[in-house]
Amino acid sequence: MELIRKKGDNFEVPNKSDPSKSHNVSKIKNGEWVCSDCKEFDCSRENPKSCSHIKAIIDAFEPADIPSQQETITNIKDPIQFATNKEEEIKIPERYILYTPYRNSTTGEVNIVTSLLIDGYIYVAHKVGFRNMETYITQYPCIENSFTAFAESILIDKNGIIYKEIGDANVGNIKRKNIQIHFTRMAATRALGRVLRRWLFPYTYGIICAEELGDTDVKKSDMVNMITKQQKDEMRKLLEKIKPVFKQNEDLEVKEFILNLTKGHADIVLKRIKNMSIFDYQAFVSLKSEISDIKSLEVVDNG
């Protein structure tokens, strides 16, 4: 895949024989294409499209899709509207999914948060397919910006739709000390994670990128009332026996629900599932609603 760089209304296309050199391709007022410092173009002025560098631009973009210099993030197309029709769902490997306990800053409760590693988003991106993806550092840390690094990530999908997102990082918004010294690279990682999350929403359902989350302050002692390993193993065996069929987002929702159960609520769920011959998404929603009602009654009683 040729790495085409956009410079205002012009494009830089690398020289195939010498990648260190590039050709500036632009469209002049009469609608014709021009390629600078190019023997191919000089030899074929009557048919500019025979120039391989101009052809690379035409192949990469439909005329209506070529971005203008004034294009901003506000007029980028919605990813859901232009989502590729999927014949089958992309299954995200479990190794890319994290379930991390975080404390709710409002209620103080401990909740399990599902996130997807940046490698997981890149895995899905390659499965879906795209034309180009680049990330730039747009502002290096200095006194004027409180030593914050800023990055921008630009992605062009198979339909020529452009997605842009930014990311920032400094020592203050990265809790892990071993990562703090690399905060410039973290800004780039966050920008990439955000643009992938926005573009791949129809496939990943907006799961937050793990690299966007901070460190957890939850200790083991804070989780003494949470579901035990024995209960989780029993739940897993029951579900393997029933063999429920869930979509990717439904499967993640069920797993997060189970991991957020207390010991007492886990016992109730186990009893309900044992009496089920079919455990589909509708049965799960009903079970989830029952546990929510129980929690509400417990709050009233404790009050």
Cα 59 to Cα 274: distance, rounded to the nearest angstrom = 57
Residue 26's nearest CA partner among 85, 69, 86, 87 is 69
- Domains along the chain? 5-69 (no CATH), 94-220 (3.30.390), 225-302 (no CATH)
The pTM score is 0.59
Q: Give the angle subtended at the CA of 114 by the CAs of 109 and 115, to the nearest 5°.
A: 130
Per-residue pLDDT tens, the chain, 303 aa: give them: 345 565 656 777 777 777 667 777 777 656 677 777 777 766 655 665 667 777 776 666 544 444 443 333 333 333 333 333 444 578 888 899 888 888 777 777 788 888 899 999 999 999 999 999 999 999 999 988 889 999 999 999 988 889 999 999 998 888 777 788 888 999 999 999 999 999 998 888 778 888 877 667 777 677 778 888 888 888 888 888 777 778 877 888 888 888 888 889 999 999 988 888 788 888 889 999 999 888 888 766 655
In sequence order, the 6+-apart residues with CB closer than 8 A to the CB of 52 are: 16, 40
